[in-house]
Amino acid sequence: MEVRALPFNSEVPGDLLLLLSEEELKDYPWPKASLKELFEAQGFTAKLGETASCVYLPEGAEKTVKVVAAGLGKGEKLTLEEVRRALGAGLKEADRLKSEVLTVLPWQNAQLPAGQAARAITEAYFLAAYRFNRYLKEQRECSVRTLQVGYLPEQEVEVIAALKVGQTLGEATNLARDLVNEPANVLTPERLAQEAQRAGEKYGFAVEVLGEEEIEKLGMEAFLAVGRASANGPRLIIMRHLGDPANPEQVLGLVGKGLTFDSGGLSLKQAKGMETMKFDMAGAAAVIGAMGALAREKVRVNVVAVVAACENLISGKGFRPGDIIGSRAGKSILVETTDAEGRLTLADAVHYMVSAEKASVVVDVATLTGAVIVALGNLTTGVLTNDQSLFERLQRASQQSGERVWQLPSFPEYREQNKTPYADLRNVGGREAGTITAGLFIGEFVEDTPWLHLDIAGTAFREKDGDYLQKGATGVGVRLLYHFAETYL
């Protein structure tokens, strides 16, 4: 996969991808006059997701040219997400035609600046061409190996800069997808830590990995309880990108849930669907990917990311329902079910983030509850916060990345559900408002630090192909966290 910028003249440089809106269809500057008729004859109306294509042999040429048109829908108030979706649909058609080098014509739509569009196009290309095929004997890649993004002379500077950011975001998201798609027999906590180290070397951020003894010294009793049953020991992964050394007191803390597998423990999950629980480290993958993108783009913000990586299994060493365990914050927790393990690991991780790393803002990302899928489906990440201005920043980031977010209420009365007479907290808040009480449990460990909680249980993995994200891991959170960090510039 490769993207390059192409200064565009009127000569047709090979296979073409035209992204155009319904309004533009009439007076589009077709690179060849007869194309308009060819597409119209196929009934192409440029609706979002709609594509049409043709193959022709230019006069005197030896090689055919393939042209794909992909609709952007209504051109007014065009969004970046619509550009990504159109690109994804167009790429699918180009792949079907076995096109290898594909050129997108220069951006002409005044609704979006050319730089923004070029970033979305590049991002979407990397995301749409991604395949998780490393375990297949016959690997079928997307046929399009090179995407050329055409630009007009006056667009040169912005388009070239946009291609670089788009590629970084696309690759960092695909890194997260690789980690999530990797099965749990391969991706143990130790291996996840190694992958974080590799990403640190490749993208340029610092990584520190702590083993069981050191985690014990940090007093992370709740985290250790969750991982105790597995033969694959826990790891605490700490990643640092200090992009703004002049302001060391401003630190954005990212925390990702890192259960490399969640069987439920003694409160065992049912067999059906348990295999998807390899994805229970998607929050960790999101923060690793985001660190990569922030470091490669040298974003001038201090960011520390922490992952408490472990595996929730069953053995004679494991914790049990009814156990009362400690935590780094000194609060005791009654374990009512061993399947509500994520909040236990995150409680210690966010407390470490505010107490040891002195983060001034904390964002945790976690595949935390099935309840968020019931509430919001697979389209939208559920969010809780103790600081409304943070959610507003997140909404701005969401407009950049297209990853949808929706805030759930965090009225103090909900906290009552996490109480028990036998310990300071219990790890389940009952059946009602399951996503809210799970999030607020983590909130008990951030002290007064401004905090956002992102429940990505519905959005981290998809069962069906989408416009530009295939079935499997989505890498949700990477681009969102990157743009969130940018709001601190």
- By CB under 6 A, what part of segment 268-327 binds ligand BES? 280
- Measured distance CA(327)–CA(318) in Å, rounded: 16
By CB under 5 A, the count of residues binding Zn ion is 4
189, 253, 342, 443: which one contacts Zn ion (CB under 5 A)?
342
Nearer of residues 21 and 367 to Mn ion, judged by Cβ = 367
Give the 3-state secondary structure percentages of the chain, helix then strand then coil, rounded to 5.
35, 20, 40
- Measured distance CA(452)–CA(443) in Å, rounded: 9
Task: Out of 74, 131, 269, 415, pick the active-site residue.
Answer: 269
- Measured distance CA(167)–CA(95) in Å, rounded: 20
Question: Strand 451-455 vs strand 380-385: parallel, antiparallel, or unpaired?
Answer: antiparallel
* Position 337 contacts ligand BES (CB under 6 A): yes
Nearer of residues 53 and 474 to ligand BES, judged by Cβ = 474
Nearer of residues 150 and 434 to ligand BES, judged by Cβ = 434
158, 178, 221, 280: which one contacts Zn ion (CB under 5 A)?
280
Assign 156 to helix, strand or coil. Answer: helix
Question: Is 343 tagged catalytic?
Answer: yes
Q: Which two tokens stand for residue 125?
A: 């290309």
* Position 452 contacts ligand BES (CB under 6 A): no
Taking CB atoms, the residue at the shortest distance from Mn ion is 339
CB distance 289 to 478 below 8 Å: yes
* Position 82 contacts Zn ion (CB under 5 A): no
DSSP summary character for residue 218? T
User: How many Cβ atoms from other residues are within 10 Å of residue 296's Cβ?
Assistant: 20
Q: Which two tokens stand for residue 341?
A: 């393990």
Kindly indicate which of the ranges 80-88, 320-328, 365-373, 395-403 contains the residues binding ligand BES, using the contact rule CB under 6 A: 365-373
Question: Is 269 tagged catalytic?
Answer: yes
Query: Considering the complex, what minimum distance in angstroms separates the CB of residue 338 from Mn ion?
Result: 8
Give the DSSP per-residue string, 104-140: EPPP--TTS-HHHHHHHHHHHHHHHH----TT-SS--
* Position 346 contacts ligand BES (CB under 6 A): no
Nearer of residues 292 and 342 to Zn ion, judged by Cβ = 342
β-pair partners for 305? 239, 254
- By CB under 5 A, what part of segment 312-371 binds Mn ion? 339
Q: Give the per-residue contact string, 250-269, with Zn ion (x = CB under 5 A; - = no).
A: ---------x--x-------
DSSP summary character for residue 270? P
Single-letter residue type at 261: F
210, 224, 353, 371: which one contacts ligand BES (CB under 6 A)?
371
- By CB under 6 A, what part of segment 195-254 binds ligand BES? none
CB distance 49 to 467 below 8 Å: yes
Nearer of residues 127 and 310 to Zn ion, judged by Cβ = 310
Query: Considering the complex, what minimum distance in angstroms separates the CB of residue 314 from Mn ion?
Result: 13
- Measured distance CA(158)–CA(140) in Å, rounded: 34
User: Residue numbers of the site for Zn ion (CB under 5 A)?
Assistant: 259, 262, 280, 342
Q: Which residues bind Mn ion (CB under 5 A)?
A: 262, 339
**Looking at the annotation, which residues are catalytic?**
269, 343
Question: What residues line the site for ligand BES (CB under 6 A)?
Answer: 262, 280, 337, 339-342, 367-371, 428, 434, 457
